[in-house]
Amino acid sequence: MDVQSAYHEESTRLKETLEEVRQQLAGIGPRYYGNDFVEQLLDAKREESRERLQLLEIEPYFGRLDFHEKGKDGAAPLYIGKRGMEKKETGQPYIIDWRAPVASLFYSFTGGDEPVEYEAPEGIVGGEIHLKRNLSIREQVLQRVVDSYVRGGDNLGLSDEFLLYRLGEKKDNRLRDIVSTIQAEQDQIIRAPRARALIIQGAAGSGKTTVALHRLAFLLYQYQDQVRADRMIIFAPNTMFLDYISGVLPELGVGNVRQTTFTDWALELLGDEVRLAEDDQEGKRWFSLEAARPEEGEWTSGRYKGSMVFKELLAGWLREYEQFYLPELDFEPWEGGHLPYRTLREWFEVEYRPYPLAARRDRLVARLNRWLEMELGKIADPKKRKERSKTGKQRLRTFLKKLPEVTALQLYRRFFGVEASPVAAAEGIPQTIAEQTKAGLKKGVVRQEDLAALCWIHRQIHAAEGRMLDHIVVDEAQDISPLQVELYKSFMNEPSFTILGDLAQGIHAYRGIHRWEELSELFKPEQTSYHELKQSYRSTLEIIEFANTILPYTDTGLPAAQPVFRSGEPVEVVRCAGTDERDQRVRSYIEEQVAGGMRTVAVICRTDEECRSVHGMLEREGVEVSLILEGQQAYKGGVSVVPVYMAKGLEFDAVLLPDVDEGRYTASPADAKLLYVGCTRALHRLTLLHIGEASPLLG
Ligand SMILES: Nc1ncnc2c1ncn2[C@@H]1O[C@H](COP(=O)(O)OP(=O)(O)OP(=O)(O)O)[C@@H](O)[C@H]1O
């Protein structure tokens, strides 16, 4: 079929579809606002349908697959959309949800005339593909029809055309869904079984974040009876990144999934008791040029406090503390009254043993109160009872002081020896780490690196409290610690994780993992699987090849990222005679890129100070530009100046690195990772400037 007839055919089908959607929408009826519970439930269902149809009304589908199922007559066209619908009159599928089993063929099929199959709930279904067609519909208008496979046709390289068209688009300030162009290797991850910890090492721009979000949408569809959106969490590195990805799930019709940072989540779990030190800023501490760089093999406090070694120490100390928690004392409410230690021990050590420490203490206190009331009840003389009640209650208050309330922070303080305790402070913590932590605790504050341990203690002493979770996504997982994952595990009956990251972008190696085994070892072998995504979709061929030359300096041994064949302008590296020329080049770069239609442009500097200086210069020249620093809540798009450690996870149409000199990017793996992150943020254009000698990482 020629292009024109295909376009005509699809226009007709689109018209029909839109008419069907409109009719179904019109048939839904008005909303119900009354108090009847059954009506309310029905209304919620109608509302769901309305939302689904409204989504379909804008872009009903993006693909068509003509599939000839074995044993059936001829090939039937399947239209695949972000949501599914049936034809009202016949009840037959009219648009197939992209997550449905049969839709997997659309993604896994990469050409060839061989038979294909997919896994349906009823078993394996086989057949042949006759046509794979990509359809681009915007605001109800058919814009493009691209056949990536026609049975019997020559099918030369067409499969990439639609993907390239999508990758060539300019980006705004939000990550988008990719349902129409999910690639086979990505689809495998999206559709992987739920009950395991999936660990994914993916090259920069390989779609990790995007794939994780699509996987959530898939799990909600596939395991409707087992998972709920409000029992899923996405952990991402910072609030601005969360803002950047916040559009994807709603586009996929998924609401109610909590998207948060570990710090926010941990502080909420721990309550008001825990306060972070105000100077706990990573930019200053680790990314200034003066920042201390840990030696290879040396424990940094973040690595240590996130390690399983530290967890074991905590666990051992906590066991001992629990053992000595109950003081060896009888309780005497008044002269002659007596509750022996033996009985108290029986309650605490035997009866309440199965409960976590906080609950054991609560129960003991409640029992003591009850015991006192009962003893008082036995006294017949009202005057005497009143007198004893007063003394008894006073003595009980004094006694309870020896059973201090247990909170995570209090225990942590005792563990570090900041507060007296029946069990001595733990030994074996590297001295500087112990001293630094104690100094903070004495001032009443902790650092972010303490949060995982505090939350872990909290779980140990409260256990069953809090909701269990169905699935957790950990993005940028190279930056998290084993203890964090151990903690997340305690919120699940069986592990169900999507853990994604890139060790080559491990710029927080002072607190993050250095090998994926550090996380996979936390699961039983049959509970975990490891995948690699090597293909990179974000950047042009030139940018990926350029970034690949930096990769070996990161010392991660990771393979080069593979580009899709999308060619653009060469990467420019320009030596400037001095700051005047550099500033002039930064300004003209921004001007040119904006004039050339780039919607997001970033000047990515090595440090906060450098960013402030470039931003100040641009503002003085009247350039409209946002300065992004640590703690930024939202990403607005347009032109930004951002330190490289904050740019991780984001992407921009055009990127300029203005300070790639030998002093700012040395030949160390830490700097190589920073430069790799900086370069891989660019989709279409990348330019690097330096004054004096260029960084040795540029070969
Ligand atoms: N199959 C695809 N079709 C179209 N675009 C895609 C596809 N896969 C990824 N992309 C695009 O590639 C870009 C990178 O995706 P994403 O940010 O999810 O990658 P990442 O692996 O998390 O990157 P990084 O580790 O560098 O932050 C995004 O613009 C995304 O839309």
Pairwise CA distance, residues 416 & 424, whole Å: 9
Number of domains in the chain: 4
pLDDT of residue 245 exceeding 70: yes
Pairwise CA distance, residues 323 & 340, whole Å: 18
Per-residue model confidence (pLDDT) at position 633 = 84
Helix ranges, 431-511 (H): 431-442, 448-462, 482-489
CB 548 within 8 A of CB 560: yes
Per the structure, the complete domain to which residue 343 belongs is given by 326-400
Poorest-pLDDT segment among 133-147, 275-289, 565-579:
275-289
pLDDT confidence of 690, banded at 50, 70, 90?
Answer: very high
The pTM (predicted TM-score) of the whole model is 0.91
Average per-residue pLDDT in the chain?
A: 92
Task: Identify the residue whose C-alpha is closest to ligand 1 atom 14.
Answer: 205
pLDDT confidence of 44, banded at 50, 70, 90?
Answer: confident
Q: Are residues 370 and 237 in the same domain?
A: no
Q: Is residue 256 part of a domain?
A: yes
Task: Identify the residue whose C-alpha is closest to ligand 1 atom 19.
Answer: 207
How far does the centroid of ligand 1 lie from the alpha carbon of residue 522, in Å?
28
Q: Are residues 396 and 457 in the same domain?
A: no
Q: Extract the annotated binding site for ATP.
A: 202-209
Helix ranges, 551-680 (H): 579-595, 608-620, 644-647, 669-679
Q: Are residues 632 and 651 in the same domain?
A: yes
How far does the centroid of ligand 1 lie from the alpha carbon of residue 538, in Å?
6
Q: From the CA of 505, give the closest atom in ligand 1.
A: 25
Q: Are residues 518 and 573 in the same domain?
A: no
What phi, psi does 325 have (nearest 5°)? -65, -45
Per-residue model confidence (pLDDT) at position 500 = 97
With 0-12 CB in 10 A as exposed, 13-18 as middle and 19+ as buried, what is 124?
exposed
Which is higher by pLDDT, 421 or 70?
70
Q: Are residues 545 and 506 in the same domain?
A: no
Q: Is residue 359 part of a domain?
A: yes
Please compute the mean of the pLDDT values over residues 5-10 and round it to a whole number: 92
Please compute the mean of the pLDDT values over residues 669-675 and round it to a whole number: 95
Percent of the chain at pLDDT > 90 equals 76
pLDDT confidence of 207, banded at 50, 70, 90?
Answer: very high
Ligand 1 touching residue 166 (CB < 6 A): yes
What phi, psi does 47 have (nearest 5°)? -65, -40
How far does the centroid of ligand 1 lie from the alpha carbon of residue 206, in Å?
5
Ligand 1 touching residue 694 (CB < 6 A): no
Q: From the CA of 502, give the closest atom in ligand 1.
A: 25
Ligand 1 touching residue 301 (CB < 6 A): no
- 590-610 pLDDT, tens digit per residue, is 999 999 999 999 999 999 999
Per-residue model confidence (pLDDT) at position 220 = 96
- 408-452 pLDDT, tens digit per residue, is 999 999 999 998 888 888 888 999 999 999 999 999 999 999 999
Per-residue model confidence (pLDDT) at position 158 = 52
Per-residue model confidence (pLDDT) at position 79 = 97
Ligand 1 touching residue 658 (CB < 6 A): no
pLDDT confidence of 295, banded at 50, 70, 90?
Answer: low
Of the residues 110, 134, 537, 686, which should be mutated to test ligand 1's pocket, given the most ligand atoms within 8 Å of the CB? 537
Residues 6+ apart with CB under 8 A from 59: 81, 82, 137, 138, 139, 140
- 13-29 pLDDT, tens digit per residue, is 999 999 999 999 999 88
pLDDT of residue 157 exceeding 60: no
Task: Identify the residue whose C-alpha is closest to ligand 1 atom 25.
Answer: 204
Please compute the mean of the pLDDT values over residues 31-35 and round it to a whole number: 87
Per-residue model confidence (pLDDT) at position 16 = 96
Q: Is residue 282 part of a domain?
A: no
Per-residue model confidence (pLDDT) at position 677 = 97
Pairwise CA distance, residues 85 & 164, whole Å: 29
Q: Extract the annotated binding site.
A: 202-209
Residue that finishes a domain, picked among 133, 167, 201 = 167
CB 205 within 8 A of CB 561: yes
Task: Identify the residue whose C-alpha is closest to ligand 1 atom 9.
Answer: 207
Ligand 1 touching residue 206 (CB < 6 A): yes
pLDDT confidence of 296, banded at 50, 70, 90?
Answer: low
How far does the centroid of ligand 1 lie from the alpha carbon of residue 651, in Å?
9
How far does the centroid of ligand 1 lie from the alpha carbon of residue 141, in Å?
26
Q: Are residues 525 and 594 in the same domain?
A: no
Q: Is residue 352 part of a domain?
A: yes
Poorest-pLDDT segment among 35-49, 110-124, 225-239, 278-292:
278-292
CB 644 within 8 A of CB 611: no
- 323-367 pLDDT, tens digit per residue, is 999 999 999 999 888 999 999 999 999 999 989 999 999 999 999
Q: Is residue 439 part of a domain?
A: no
Q: Is residue 427 part of a domain?
A: no
HEC secondary structure over 182-197? CCHHHHHHHCCCCCCE
Task: State whether ipTM is beyond 0.90.
Answer: yes
Ligand 1 touching residue 506 (CB < 6 A): no
CB 317 within 8 A of CB 677: no
Please compute the mean of the pLDDT values over residues 493-518 and round it to a whole number: 93
- 620-640 pLDDT, tens digit per residue, is 999 999 999 988 888 888 999
Q: Are residues 547 and 590 in the same domain?
A: yes
Task: Identify the residue whose C-alpha is closest to ligand 1 atom 18.
Answer: 207
Q: Strand pairing partners for 688?
A: 573, 657
Per-residue model confidence (pLDDT) at position 77 = 96
Ligand 1 touching residue 207 (CB < 6 A): yes
Residues 6+ apart with CB under 8 A from 435: none
pLDDT confidence of 110, banded at 50, 70, 90?
Answer: confident
Residue where the block lists tokens 């709603």: 250
Q: Are residues 505 and 557 in the same domain?
A: no
Q: How many CB atoms lie within 10 A of CB 221?
A: 18
pLDDT of residue 1 exceeding 80: no
Q: Are residues 22 and 151 in the same domain?
A: yes
- What is the CA angle 270-271-275, rounded to 5? 85
pLDDT of residue 236 exceeding 90: yes
Task: Identify the residue whose C-alpha is closest to ligand 1 atom 26.
Answer: 204
Ligand 1 touching residue 372 (CB < 6 A): no
Per-residue model confidence (pLDDT) at position 679 = 98
Per-residue model confidence (pLDDT) at position 527 = 95
Per-residue model confidence (pLDDT) at position 639 = 96
Helix ranges, 443-574 (H): 448-462, 482-489, 517-520, 541-550
Q: What is the CATH number of the domain that holds 461?
A: 3.40.50.300
pLDDT confidence of 31, banded at 50, 70, 90?
Answer: confident
pLDDT of residue 587 exceeding 70: yes
Please compute the mean of the pLDDT values over residues 664-689 and round it to a whole number: 96
How far does the centroid of ligand 1 lie from the alpha carbon of residue 631, in Å?
24
Q: Are residues 513 and 553 in the same domain?
A: no
Q: Is residue 550 part of a domain?
A: yes
Of the residues 134, 148, 165, 210, which should be mutated to test ligand 1's pocket, given the most ligand atoms within 8 Å of the CB? 210
Per-residue model confidence (pLDDT) at position 336 = 87
Q: Is residue 317 part of a domain?
A: no
Ligand 1 touching residue 186 (CB < 6 A): yes
Q: From the CA of 476, give the closest atom in ligand 1.
A: 25
How far does the centroid of ligand 1 lie from the alpha carbon of residue 271, in Å?
36
Ligand 1 touching residue 671 (CB < 6 A): no
Q: Are residues 122 and 52 in the same domain?
A: yes
Please compute the mean of the pLDDT values over residues 150-177 and round it to a whole number: 77
Please report, to the nearest 10 degrees, the dihedral formed by the alpha carbons of residues 283, 287, 291, 295 taken in order.
120
Q: Are residues 134 and 198 in the same domain?
A: no
Per-residue model confidence (pLDDT) at position 326 = 94
How far does the centroid of ligand 1 lie from the alpha carbon of residue 108, in Å?
18
pLDDT of residue 3 exceeding 90: no
Ligand 1 touching residue 178 (CB < 6 A): yes
How far does the centroid of ligand 1 lie from the alpha carbon of residue 537, in Å?
6
pLDDT confidence of 390, banded at 50, 70, 90?
Answer: very high
Ligand 1 touching residue 472 (CB < 6 A): no
pLDDT of residue 279 exceeding 60: yes
Residue that finishes a domain, picked among 167, 199, 226 = 167
Pairwise CA distance, residues 173 & 639, whole Å: 10
